[in-house]
Amino acid sequence: MRGVRRAFVVGHPIAHSRSPLIHGHWLREHGIAGSYERIAVAPDAFEAFFRRLPESGFSGGNVTIPHKEAAFALCDALSPRARAIGAVNTLVVGADGRIFGDNTDAPGFTAHLDQSLGAGWPERAGTALVLGAG
């Protein structure tokens, strides 16, 4: 039997993140032995946190503000999506200790548009305005 899988969300600030609640629900729902932890890391401590990941016992995790670009620069390997965006929000720690980075922001955003507007929305799209604070 495989051991408990540990994952995280890292950011600064991070206390507001609902990710542990959401991911914890799905771990329980699917009977997966695991945890999803919130980790506060200040910008000046992020590189040290990142370098310790292979020995940390974490399988991977999510990256949020303000660390997405710093994580991008530190990854051993990157998805084509992450390279195009220039930032990562998902890290996977390989068995060899190498850290792979991906970015799921764009696919998540377009999947929501597909669901809300229908699959043909790009052909009907006009000008769009995206507002955000993160």
Contact residues for 33 (Cβ-Cβ < 8 A; gap 6+)? 2, 3, 4, 5, 27
In a domain, 132, yes or no: no
* 50-79 pLDDT per residue, tens: 999 999 999 999 999 999 999 999 999 999
Q: Tell me the mean pLDDT in the region 20-36.
A: 96
User: Which residue intervals of the chain are DSSP H helices?
Assistant: 19-29, 46-56, 68-74, 80-85, 105-117, 121-124
Residue with tokens 């990710």: 19
Average pLDDT value for the chain? 92
In a domain, 49, yes or no: yes
In a domain, 130, yes or no: no
CATH code, 93:
3.40.50.10860
Residues β-bridged to residue 93: 99
Predicted TM-score (pTM) of this structure: 0.85
In a domain, 133, yes or no: no
* Structural domain range at position 44: 5-124
In a domain, 99, yes or no: yes
Q: Tell me the mean pLDDT in the region 15-30.
A: 95
In a domain, 131, yes or no: no
pLDDT the model gives residue 109: 79
pLDDT band at 2 (very low <50, low <70, confident <90, very high): low
Number of domains in the chain: 1
In a domain, 129, yes or no: no
Known catalytic residues are: 68
pLDDT the model gives residue 26: 95
In a domain, 70, yes or no: yes
